[in-house]
Amino acid sequence: MSSDGFVTDCSLNTTVEVMLEDTIAKENVLLRDGQGAAAVANASIAERVIEPTLVMFEVHVPPSCMLDGVHSQHFSGTGVIIYHSHSMGLVAVDKNTVAVSASDVMLSFAAYPIEIPGEVVFLHPVHNFALVAYDSSALGPVGVSAVQAAELLPDPALRRGDSVYLVGLNRSLQATSRKSVVTNPCATLNIGSADCPRYRATNMEVVELDTDFGSAFSGVLTDEHGRVRAIWASFSTQLKVGSNTSEDHHFVRGIPVYAISQVLHNIISGGNGWHLLINGVKRPMPLIRILEVELYRTLLSKARSFGLSDDWIQALIKKDPVRRQVLRVKGCLAGSKAENLLEQGDMVLAVNKEPVTCFRDIENVCHALDIGESGGELNMTIFRQGRELDLVVGTDVRDGNGTTRVINWCGCIVQDPHPAVRALGFLPEEGHGVYVARWCRGSPVHRYGLYALQWIVEVNGKPTPDLDAFVNVTKELEHGEFVRVRTIHLNSKPRVLTLKQDLHYWPTWELRFDPETATWHRQTIKALDCQNL
């Protein structure tokens, strides 16, 4: 998106000090790559156009905010500015750089030598991208003029053989680029669940190139004019090493910008979700309607061997002669409206009588529900065990806030189960609102064996179906009291244990995000010297 709404403030102070400062700043902007005019001259048009839009991220996740299975406290990567005005800027970056909203984010701009804080305002519930806002006024008059927003070009979609420019930043904030060729514009990902469930990209098609700069290099894919076709994003997975251990592995692929463009449009024009305070202005944020089902593709040649009729095969080929595939159900997210309706192995043939062949088709029909008056339900035609069935399947609406509430009790962090946990397909019938996401060494839960990856369903015989019930029960517990806890593990096995509460070193506290002030607040629930709320 271009920065048409950008207002340049040219009213500079006439004092000698300010004039000298601005002169030095302008010289730094011109020589920001540190290599002089020769390097600028050798750069491609795409690199020169896109460089002022690139931002380097340094992200720190505080120990008390290790939510949603996040696997590290420190992340870094490259993002691209997609909106820039006198009041607000927005940067798009992958969720392997900004994993949770409770993060300390610092932004360094390629266009101007300054580092300022950023604020996580949107985490897409499905796609691997987040949006981070910054205060444009913190850049100063010269910085505001130097920084630019990239132009997004979501359509037409990239095709095999298209030439693109891969542009990003090195650690010295210098733009680096190379011309590459798209080898596969619609590759699918198959990322398994990590040992400790965390965000993993599902129901996404990504772009593959013939050459890149390795797995540590992120940035954007542009056309020859510097218009952004995709963000070159980092993905996280785990690889088995031996029989009992796993190692984190990172790789990069291109994410087409159509979803980013849609979310940006909804933020600028006014979303349909709750209001979030961004740079002192309350802005309605978008809600995303999704079919909470994990899908995978099967080639039509395989589908024929499973009994799919030739009529349907021809209809799907006519709809999409390139992919020649059908979508199948891998599983439904526990607690979703599709649960108990769709089954593993179902082939999704059509929605509302229109054939579907890719993930974007499903996204488009879900998006259309917000425009029409269908009540949020899809009329799906599926193929199951040799039979064609018509089902009415509900969709779910999710926001981009991520986890906004967490409680620390006896050294364990509990929260609502995040999507990566629900994707495993199990939630306890007794209640599933108190999921143990992490534990601290030396704490009571460590000493007595209450570890992560389980739900606390009872405390001293009292049910704890959600966080409110859990707070009401635990705030009545005294220092040194032995507590009987009933849990259910991710593998559905129940367990009962007893631990001794230590309010002196391990008080009970809550961390909650307040959209009215756009800040996280920590409140003590129970401590040795603070017995009540």
Q: Is 353 in the same domain as 426? A: no
Q: Can you tell me the mean pLDDT for 337-363?
A: 96
CATH number at 489 reads 2.30.42.10
Among 125-139, 227-241, 368-382, 495-509, the least confident range: 368-382
Nearest in space to 92 (alpha carbons), one of 104, 78, 76, 108 = 78
For residue 126, give its domain range. 44-287
**Distance from C-alpha of 58 to C-alpha of 469, rounded to nearest angstrom:** 37
Show which of 340, 372, 398 is a domain's final residue: 398
Per-residue pLDDT at 273? 80
Q: Is 281 in the same domain as 323? A: no
Q: Is 83 in the same domain as 215? A: yes
Per-residue pLDDT at 42? 58
**Distance from C-alpha of 434 to C-alpha of 411, rounded to nearest angstrom:** 14
Show which of 287, 322, 355 is a domain's final residue: 287
Q: Can you tell me the mean pLDDT for 354-359?
A: 96
Q: Is 313 in the same domain as 238? A: no
Q: Is 52 in the same domain as 99? A: yes
Per-residue pLDDT at 426? 93
Q: Is 458 in the same domain as 492? A: yes
With respect to residue 12, please indicate whether it lies within any of the assigned structural domains: no
Q: What percentage of the chain has pLDDT greater than the value 90? A: 80
Amino acid at 146: A
Does residue 3 surpass a pLDDT of 60? no
19 vs 164: which has the higher pLDDT = 164
Q: Is 236 in the same domain as 98? A: yes
Per-residue pLDDT at 14? 33
Angle (CA) 378-127-425 rounded to 5° is: 60
With respect to residue 20, please indicate whether it lies within any of the assigned structural domains: no
Instruction: Identify the three-state secondary structure at position 328.
Output: strand
CATH number at 234 reads 2.40.10.120
CA 84 to chain centre: 21
With respect to residue 298, please indicate whether it lies within any of the assigned structural domains: yes
Does residue 15 surpass a pLDDT of 80? no
With respect to residue 275, please indicate whether it lies within any of the assigned structural domains: yes
Nearest in space to 496 (alpha carbons), one of 515, 483, 478 = 483
Nearest in space to 285 (alpha carbons), one of 303, 304, 268 = 268
| Distant-in-sequence, close-in-space partners of 509: CB < 8 Å, separation ≥ 6 | 407, 408, 522, 523, 524, 525, 527
**Distance from C-alpha of 148 to C-alpha of 89, rounded to nearest angstrom:** 9
Q: CB-based burial of residue 496 (10 Å sphere; 0-12 exposed, 13-18 middle, 19+ buried)? A: exposed
Show which of 257, 287, 317 is a domain's final residue: 287
The pTM is what? 0.89
Q: Is 315 in the same domain as 277? A: no
Q: Share the mean pLDDT of the chain.
A: 89
Q: Is 519 in the same domain as 388? A: no
- Region class of 195: left (phi > 0), else alpha (psi between -120 and 50), else beta: alpha
Q: Can you tell me the mean pLDDT for 143-153?
A: 96
Nearest in space to 65 (alpha carbons), one of 470, 503, 415, 508 = 415
Does residue 311 surpass a pLDDT of 70? yes
**Distance from C-alpha of 61 to C-alpha of 72, rounded to nearest angstrom:** 8
Query: H or E element: which one contains 42?
Result: helix 36-42
Nearest in space to 131 (alpha carbons), one of 264, 33, 8 = 264
Q: What percentage of the chain has pLDDT greater than the value 70? A: 91
Q: Is 301 in the same domain as 271? A: no
Per-residue pLDDT at 529? 72
Residue 296's alpha-carbon distances to 164, 326, 441, in angstroms, are 27, 8, 39
Q: Is 241 in the same domain as 373? A: no
Instruction: Identify the three-state secondary structure at position 287.
Output: coil
pLDDT range class, residue 244, cuts 50, 70, 90: confident
Nearest in space to 82 (alpha carbons), one of 43, 45, 116, 121 = 121
User: In the chain, how many domains are there?
Assistant: 3
12 vs 431: which has the higher pLDDT = 431
Does residue 18 surpass a pLDDT of 90? no
Per-residue pLDDT at 105? 97
pLDDT in tens, 182-199: 999 999 998 999 999 999
Nearest in space to 29 (alpha carbons), one of 52, 60, 8, 11 = 52
With respect to residue 30, please indicate whether it lies within any of the assigned structural domains: no
DSSP letter assigned to residue 8: -
**Distance from C-alpha of 117 to C-alpha of 134, rounded to nearest angstrom:** 7
With respect to residue 103, please indicate whether it lies within any of the assigned structural domains: yes
With respect to residue 88, please indicate whether it lies within any of the assigned structural domains: yes
Does residue 10 surpass a pLDDT of 60? no
Q: Is 222 in the same domain as 366? A: no
Q: Crossing angle, helix 359-371 and helix 258-269, to 10 degrees?
A: 20
**Distance from C-alpha of 160 to C-alpha of 489, rounded to nearest angstrom:** 45
With respect to residue 445, please indicate whether it lies within any of the assigned structural domains: yes
Does residue 108 surpass a pLDDT of 80? yes
pLDDT range class, residue 16, cuts 50, 70, 90: very low
Helices (H) and strands (E) in the chain, counts: 11, 31
